[in-house]
Amino acid sequence: MSDEQKKLEDLLKQLQLNNGNGPKINAEPVRGTNDFKFWKTQPVTSLEEEVTEEGPIDKPKKPEDISDKTLPMLAEFEWTTVDIEDNEQLEDVFVLLNENYVEDRDSEFRFNYTKEFFKWALKCPGWNKDWNVGVRVKNTGKLIAFISAIPVTLRVRSNIIKSVEINFLCVHKQLRAKRLAPVLIKEITRRVNKTDIWQALYTGGAILPSPIATCRYTHRPLNWNKLCDVGFTALPSNSTNAEMVAKYTLPKVTATPGLRVMEEKDIEETLRLFNRYQERFELVQNFTKEEFHHWFLGGLDSTSSKDSNVIYSYVIEDKDGKITDFFSFYSLPFSILNHSVHKDLGIGYLFYYASDADFNYAERYNEEATSKLKKRLDLIIRDACILANNSKMDVFNALTSQDNALFLDDLKFGSGDGFLNFYLFNYKAFPIHGGLLSNKSNDVEKRSNLGIVML
Ligand SMILES: CCCCCCCCCCCCCC(=O)SCCNC(=O)CCNC(=O)[C@H](O)C(C)(C)COP(=O)(O)OP(=O)(O)OC[C@H]1O[C@@H](n2cnc3c(N)ncnc32)[C@H](O)[C@@H]1OP(=O)(O)O
């Protein structure tokens, strides 16, 4: 591995952003399902099993069959339902997450979760106050653990599943390995089951029984100089600074004719385009109009996440006024501690996109269809990088999901060390291709059949 690659790998290692425990994946010894004391008791597909039929694992239950009582909790702690509309309680959550969500990091960088980010992530249409579950120290009231659920409608191949997405599971660093996580998971399961929902989607770096898909993180440096300055990377010995800057420098102006910020009036047409694009994937989230509005135009109220620079959505309109493409990315920066000049590191994450470039072809893998879509995605995702850069983001992340493998190499996204596993709770499903070949490089030909992006 060259110096430059090594440095980039180091940079990428530090940028294992989503779900914190990504970097551990390679170090984990291989375990069998029986070694998972908690998970072997849950309705999940075991690691050894070959799925022969898709569908729920547990026998059907009714909400009345589920206990009304919270799970027992250790004497010094107590359950709390975090009211995320109360600024103080919301602050407790982001202090907990900012300080404890990401592991394996010297105390140089921290996620800079903001209230706006949480409002966007947790207050989606249909959100349930009861599903923001915390644990506090009885004496002091300090929040030491959290888990959340939001409602989603999933499509797994042709089956529509009313479900939840579980996210932001976190236990304070000093209280790790005390089996609190299984209690949090069981408590959120109880609360969700009480509303007659029996399936969940979740992701993580850790390998648990059993991933339905595995994707890899990729990262596109935008501001090489700053990434160097803050110690994320150093100048490779065989390159000049000018060469590295030239490699990653993007123009200020986007290239796609008709590109503009997505507006309220575009919602219906863009959702139609998006739904049609998503048909190609085997696992997707189905959005209602209201949900689409929330996830792509920001919050539900006037203090919208869009205005707070959390979610960025763009459409491309042709000369007849038809929307032909759309793309979106969100921002979740790091705070840089103890640096004299730089206080933040801007990080953009590719979210959803759609294009009609291959709609005239019945077959997704048709050579001409592939070439048209690749050309289009190269153009529009490059513009996404330009816009992210113009919005002061320093690096742009994408997974190997969706059709991403078509543009990742061309647009200079480097493969990261982290992998993200996708899991379904109480639902057996055949594996879904995550866009990786067996040697873990991008599968440019087949791309991915996973059409869902989780925060
Ligand atoms: C229908 C509704 C259903 C709803 C529920 C659906 C399921 C939702 C599932 C949750 C989806 C979350 C999605 C996200 O938010 S993924 C993000 C997870 N958070 C982080 O990585 C932040 C930093 N880490 C921590 O805060 C802690 O290390 C956590 C909280 C992760 C574990 O705490 P701790 O380190 O103190 O351990 P323990 O002694 O309490 O517990 C040990 C047990 O926990 C199992 N474990 C470890 N990590 C994870 C993990 N990421 N998903 C599921 N299980 C995990 C582990 O294998 C062991 O079980 P087993 O090996 O004995 O079997």
| pLDDT tens digits, 294-329 | 999 985 444 444 556 899 999 999 999 999 999 999
| Ligand 1 atom closest to Cα of residue 163 | 1
Per residue in 26-61, pLDDT (tens digit) is 445 568 999 999 999 999 999 999 999 999 999 999
Any ligand 1 atom below 6 A from CB of 187: no
176 in contact with ligand 1, CB cutoff 6 A:
yes
User: What are the chain's domains?
Assistant: 30-203 (3.40.630.30), 213-428 (3.40.630.30)
Mutual orientation of helices 267-278 and 289-297 as an angle, nearest 10°? Answer: 100
Contact 182, 39 (CB under 8 A): no
Q: Would you list the DSSP string of 353-419?
A: EEE-TTTT-S-TT-HHHHHHHHHHHHHHHHHHHHHHHHTT-SEEEEES-TTGGGTTTTTTPEEEEEE
Q: Which residue's CA is the nearest one to ligand 1's atom 13?
A: 167
When computed from its CA atoms, the radius of gyration of the chain, rounded to whole angstroms, is 22
For every residue of 137-200, DSSP letters joined together read ETTT--EEEEEEEEEEEEEETTEEEEEEEEEEEEE-GGGTTSSHHHHHHHHHHHHHHTTT--EE
Mean pLDDT in residue range 9-18: 47
Pick from 169, 197, 199, 203 the residue to mutate for probing ligand 1's pocket: most ligand atoms within 8 Å of its CB: 169
How far is CA 217 from its chain centroid?
10
pTM to 2 decimal places: 0.93
Tell me if 234 sits within 8 A of 7, measured CB to CB. Answer: yes
CA atoms 278, 203, 448, 50: torsion sign: negative
**Nearest-CA neighbor of 223 among 332, 386, 114?**
386
Ligand 1 geometric centre to CA of 213 (Å): 18
pLDDT of residue 29: 57
What integer is the mean pLDDT of 202-229? 94
Ligand 1 atom with the smallest distance to the CA of 198 is: 1
Q: Is 455 a catalytic residue?
A: yes
**CA 211 from chain center: how many Å?**
15
Ligand 1 geometric centre to CA of 325 (Å): 37
Distance from C-alpha of 423 to C-alpha of 205, rounded to nearest angstrom: 11
What is the 181 CA–ligand 1 centroid distance (Å)? 5
